[in-house]
Amino acid sequence: MAERGEVFIFPDRERAADFMAEQWERTMLSAVESTGVFSVALSGGRSPAVVYERLSRSGRALPWDRTHVFLVDERFVPAGDTKSNFRLIHEHLLARVPISTERVHTVVTDTISLEDAARGYEQDLKEFFTGTGDVPEFDLVMLGMGEDGHTASLFPGMSGLQEETRLAVPVITGRVDTWRISLSLRVINNAHTIIFFVTGRNKAQAVQGVIRDRNRELPAALVTPSCGVLMYVLDSEAAALLEQRPHGNG
């Protein structure tokens, strides 16, 4: 057990994805048994797509009718755009499982400003999590990690890293087509379970900086749950600079 989270390393991406899907199912079933509802925030990008596909093919009768899906972050583009995180998650998971559209909480980006998109998403969070305190308590938040150590759409040096009030923040990153809306750290860190799923040799330096060096200049290192569980699920390439043995060799 690491001081800041438990680290699971697998020989390849496929076995890491199998483990991640198992953790999702376990967390999902536990939440539904406990409260009747499972709330999850999902990341976009290529890495988690393999996990979503495994979930969509699960042979278990999972309680999708008790599940509410949110986005960890979204690009400020129309929902059908190829850069849209919702589009990726929909294609690899949501379109393949029996979940109703009213249980999928998207970030509205059409015909409004970036600021209004962030405030609208925050309002959706407040309405769904009403009665649970000032900060939403997700059952599961699934995160990735960029080569620069960013997570969600929280990038090194951005002012939103210090946000202590808002639940969702607008993120301006150069060109308009790369602007984003992201959950704030205060929301992410209030989740019951947070799992990083990271694969690929190009992420190894960032993984080392976050897990071993605890470099707080890297946003992913600022993910420190207040009372929840933190896990890192890695393939051997992403974990190449860590001195730990892989799981799942058998």
Q: Percent of the chain having pLDDT more than 70?
A: 95
What is the residue extent of each domain of the chain?
Answer: 6-235
* pLDDT computed for residue 125 by the predictor: 97
Q: Nearest to residue 190, comparing CAs of 229, 160, 217?
A: 229
The pLDDT of residue 2: 41
- Interacting residues of 2 by C-beta distance below 8 A, sequence separation 6+: 211, 232
Smallest Cα–Cα separation from 57: which of 105, 102, 100, 92?
92
As a CATH number, domain 6-235 is 3.40.50.1360
DSSP alpha helix (H) spans, 57-109: 85-92
pTM of the model as a whole: 0.94
pLDDT at 224 over 90: yes
Average pLDDT, integer, range 158-177: 86
Q: What are the pLDDT digits (tens) for 195-217? A: 999 999 999 999 999 999 999 99
Q: Tell me: the pLDDT tens digits for 98-154?
A: 999 999 999 999 878 999 999 999 999 999 998 767 899 999 999 999 999 999 999
